[in-house]
Amino acid sequence: MEDQFKLRVETNLDLELLEEGHAGELFALTDRNRAYLRKWLPWLDSNKYLQNTVDFIQYSRKQYVENNSLQLCIRYDGDLAGLIGFHKVDWLNHSTSIGYWLAEDCQGKGIMTASCRCLLDYACGNLGMNRVEIRCASENIRSRAVPVRLGFTEEGLIRQAEWLYDHYVDHVVYGLLRSEWERGR
């Protein structure tokens, strides 16, 4: 993966490598959307201070330098709208998984579907991934709609896959193979 990284998704939509300079803006976005994001993301309670975001960015950069992960800011009309990236890149098996979140006021504009499509093209086309996976909480209908729109196959349910503050949530697993991506292009 390159040192500096930016993908143009659409005229008003870009994905750019998460860097320490994004910390203030990312923390503010997270904080403004805390109640909304908390419904589906388990890490909100451990991200209460700017330093927590700085630590996350530093960890993400370390993983990026080690060629294990890629975390990108989603910029919509120039403003930070959320994050998207590869949780882990499995180079031996040519597979990865995509994770994402989007600010509440950016929902319903096609931002996440377009961003995922772009990252999927990068994974299969540039990195040579054979399999890309997306896991979503079973009740998170908006998040689950993204892989469906992109032609992923629903492969199964992982029961009680994630502890979400005071209860477990099931995850639905979606997968897309490189051959399916090539047919869909």
- pTM equals 0.93
Q: What span, in angstroms and rounded, lies between the C-alpha atoms of 66 and 87?
A: 13
Which residue has 């403003």 as its token pair? 79
Which residue has 């994050």 as its token pair? 83
Q: How confident is the model at residue 3 (pLDDT cuts 50, 70, 90)?
A: low
Q: What span, in angstroms and rounded, lies between the C-alpha atoms of 99 and 84?
A: 6
What pLDDT is attached to residue 2? 47
Q: Looking at the predicted structure, is the pLDDT value of residue 23 above 90?
A: yes
What pLDDT is attached to residue 1? 43
Q: What span, in angstroms and rounded, lies between the C-alpha atoms of 28 and 109?
A: 21
Task: Determine how many CB atoms are found less than 10 A away from the CB of residue 182.
Answer: 10
Which residue has 């579907």 as its token pair? 113
Smallest Cα–Cα separation from 127: which of 67, 83, 174, 60? 67
Smallest Cα–Cα separation from 126: which of 84, 73, 81, 89? 89
Percentage of the chain lying above the pLDDT 70 cut: 98
What pLDDT is attached to residue 184? 83
Beta bridge partners of 156: 173
Q: Strands 131-137, 95-102: parallel, antiparallel or unpaired by DSSP?
A: parallel
CB-CB contact of 74 with 68 (8 Å): no
Can you list the domains of the chain with their CATH numbers?
6-133 (3.40.630.30)
